[in-house]
Structure formats: structure tokens, C-alpha cells
Homo-oligomer: A and B are copies of this chain.
Amino acid sequence: MITGKNHIGNQLVAKANTTFKTFNPLLNKQNNWEMLQATPSQVNQAAALAAQAFKTYSKISGHKKATFLRAIATQIEALGNLLLTTYTAESGLPNARAIGERGRTLAQLHAFANHIEEGNWVEASIDTAQPERQPIPKVDLRKINQPLGPVAVFGASNFPLAFSTAGGDTASALAAGCPVIVKSHPMHAGTGYLVASAIIKAAQETGMPNGVFSNLNSNSTQVGQLLVTNPNIKAVGFTGSIAGGRALYNLAAKRQEPIPVFAEMGSINPIILLPEALQNSASHIAKTYAQSITLGTGQFCTNPGLILAVKSKHLNSFTQVLAQEIVKVEPSVMLHPNIVGAYEKNKANALSQKGVEVLADYKNKVKPNYARQLVTTVNGDTFLNNTTLHHEVFGPYSIVVQCDNQEQLETIISKLEGQLTGTIMSHNLEIEHYPNIVNALQDRVGRIIFNGVPTGVEVCPSMLHGGPYPASTDSRFTAVGIDSIKRWVRPISYQNWPNNLLPDELKNENPLNILRKINGKITSEKI
């Protein structure tokens, strides 16, 4: 049952001044369950409890943390159908997606469990002493990653499970040894409540300290602001809009003690169509992209919102087929009336820009909260001179920019804001003739794709989900994949420290049998 209360560590707190309800976009009405808005003092309590929990949780072995993460996965699965129905009721997303996203969430938890159990992630480095060195002896130094402290996590509207309460940010922070406080997303707060209950159950049954996890409900900005400015919070993870992520980044930067904010804020994910690719496969590429643009009602952060190519008759074929195909796609519901509202407003704004023409506009009447796809087109000059057109229109929308020549195409790429992804469609290896385009694109993106679609973000060590600002606030880290744990740790060096008091990872006898860099050489040997 969804009581809607706030989880302050292991305690389910009933006190609240106001409540709110989530919304079912398919039924176009509010859901029944009532969520209790967290109070400022509850924010402080959760943060203080997290700081207390950090003292022990930061020292718990990788094996024990792995047991906790796996127990979370088990408890989430045990929520069964209630989780799936709540998910669909709060997002409008289909049941198959709920099942798929739950699978991804569980897989992420297991991936981090395996990662910290293996133990190499601490990047242990040992330089042994040289007491006889001249002119001064060399000391013994040993370095290891240790957790930063309590992390505040802000979930995404578009991934109620995989990028929310027990999503990638939470899983990676808990894996690192950081307690987590989730500011639950107001659009799927019931889903968040259920997942939070599962995490708390798992924490209790595996003996984790009280405060290792809290979940706070809020449909305003106050709770989030209080969290980010609370001195007990040492880092922030966020997935969402540029406005939201930047506001949190600014708050964190103004603190007396600034803290790192990793905000993944999406992008328009440019697609570059090379001439021979258009000549040979205009129709096939158009059909592929009609699907990619409308996938999940265009609500993926890697949605292809910008298509770039040099003018040609083959580009005309592409735009014709794209226009035909995309209106054949059956419209689907968006996550929330506010999101549909923003989509309609942003579409209208794009259409009102000088030089923007409609390529395809789904005109039929649709049910409430359904999104009607739109593709526009513009010439290169107009696009270059109007940065409004460079901004994301969240939903099933894309703009085709028709460039005068390769130089203009290259210039446009180099003037784009930072992007999560960039894609090049190439006929065989024609890409070899366009090194400047490739270089310009590499400079602007976190992931560069050859002959594919950017939607679909594989969870694996080599994934980089992030990119130059505003794709993310710190391009040096990824939000997806096991390396996302690096956001929440800092190295510490031990100098001449007694062997038996060192963390196990740094002891001479290497009891955890991990890979370490010893005097510059990577090895699992003892000392």
C-alpha cells in the first residue's frame, strides 16, 4: 500500500503540512494515493541521519555492500505487480516498458554489486618505501578511493525506475559507500515510495545503518534546495532539465563548502547524414529515424532532435520519406499534462521562428496528453544564426537542417552546445573523407555513433552517458555504467601507515586479491 509518507531512514514519518497526488495521463485524472510533502525539518533529519550512517557505512566491506544492493533488487522484484501498475498509472508508459525498465534497474544493482565485490574499482595504488634513497628517503605511500559522504539524488521524470529512486545514481552512490537521500520525482512519487520501501527493507534485513537511505516527497522546489544546501550533503546527482540541473549546480557552487553536482540534462543528439549514405539509403535511414524520433513518445534524453545534411536531391528523398513515415506512427501518451503542455509550447515556439518550415505535422485529433509528432526543416544559415533552434524540444520532434556545403555543416557542428551523443550515417567508409566533421563532432559529444541510432543506452563499462555542458555539468564523469561510481569518491593517501591498520585493499598481503598498481605496475601480487 502507498501510504505516501516520507522515509527518514528506517522511520516512516506521518507528519506533513501539505499533500499532493500524482496523475494518470492515460486516464487523464489524478491517482488515488496521497503523497505527504516533506517538511524542512525532515530534510535536516534525513541529512543528519545520513551523516551519522556515513561513519559506519563508509567502512563496510564491498562484500556487505554487495549483499545490500542485491537485497534491494530482490525487494524491488518482490513488489511484483503493484510496482508495475503504479509505474504505468503514474507515467502512462506501457507495462512492457515497466517490465523492461525494472529489469534494467535490477541489472544495474547487480552490476554494481559485482563491481564492488570484485573490488578493483578502488584503484589501489602502492609505492613502497626506499629508506636508503638519496638525498632523502622515500616514504611508503598507498592510495585508495573512499566515499565522499551523503549524496542527494534527484530522479528523472522519464525513467521512473532506472534513473530514479533505486536507479543508477542511487546504486552507484550506495556502491561507493555513500548514504543516499532521494528527492522523489513528484510525477511518480508513488512508484518512488514503493521502491524506497524496498530499499529500507533491504537495508534492515542486511544490517545497514539507519539513515543509509531516505526518500523525501515534494512537488515544489524547496525540499531540493534545502537538500543541496545542507552542510551534511557532500554531492548531488540529478537527471532532468537544464533549468533544474543548473539551478542546483548554482546552489551547490555558492555553498561555503562547494560540492560536486553531476547533472545529466539531456541534449538534441545531432545526426549527420553523409552524401553517399543519403544517395544509397535515404529511404531506409528515414524509416529508421521516424521510429527513433517517436520511440517512447520522444521522451528519451538521447532522442535524435537534430538532423544535419548538405542539400541534395537525395536529402529531398530523405525528408519526403521521413515526412511520410513519421505521420504513420500512432501517437502515444506523454508522462504528464505539464510535459505535453511544454511540448506544445516548445513546438509552437520553434514553428514561430523565421525560416522554419514544417516537414511533417500529425494533425489528427488525439486523446488528452497524447503527443502529436512534428518534424521541421530549416536552412543552414538560419539555424546558425538562431540559437533558439539549438535547444531541446522534449518529445517526438526533430529538425532537419539543410546545409549549403560541408564547410557550413562543419561550422554548425562546432557551434552546437555539448551533447550526450552524436551520430554519423555513412555509406561504408565514406566517413574517411570527412575528418573535420568527425573531429568537430567528437569535440561536442560524450558518445559518438557510427551508423546507428542514439536511443538505447547500453549499461556497460565502456558506456559514457554525459558530455560537455549542458549535456552534463561535469563531462569528466558518466551517469551510466559502472564507472559512474567515480562521481562519489575521492582518493586518500596513507603515508607510512601500519600494515594492520590499512584498509584491506592496501594491506601487504592483499587479502581481497584485487588488482593494484604497485610501484607503477598493475598486479594482484602480495608485497
Contact = CB atoms under 8 A, between A and B. Distances in A.
Given A447-B493, A449-B495, A473-B258, A463 B143 contact: yes
Contacts of A366: none
A388 to B, nearest CB: 15
Contacts of A475: 148, 490
B496 A462 contact: no
Contact of A515 (B431, B469, B522): B522
Interface in A493-508: 493-498, 500-501
A452 B463 CA distance: 43
Contacts of A520: 461
Copies per complex of this chain: 2
The secondary structure that dominates the A interface is mixed
Contact of A461 (B120, B127, B418): B127
Nearest to A120: B522
A486 B120 CA distance: 18
Nearest to A55: B439
Nearest to A445: B492
A249 interface: yes
A132 interface: no
A448 interface: yes
Given A460-B127, A461-B125, A462-B127, A446 B258 contact: no
A396 B494 CA distance: 25
Interface stretch (A134-142, A201-209, A309-317, A321-329): A134-142
Interface string A444-478: 01111111100010101111101011100111101
A287 interface: no
A298 to B, nearest CB: 19
* Nearest 4 A/B pairs, CB to CB: A253-B253, A464-B493, A141-B462, A475-B490
A258 B242 CA distance: 13
A496 B450 contact: yes
A40 interface: no
Interface residues of A, number: 72
Interface in A310-356: none
A257 to B, nearest CB: 5
B493 A463 contact: yes
B127 A452 contact: no
Contacts of A469: 257-258
Contacts of A483: 125, 491
A126 B460 CA distance: 9
A381 B424 CA distance: 65
A429 interface: yes
Given A250-B253, A442-B146, A498-B431, A141 B493 contact: no
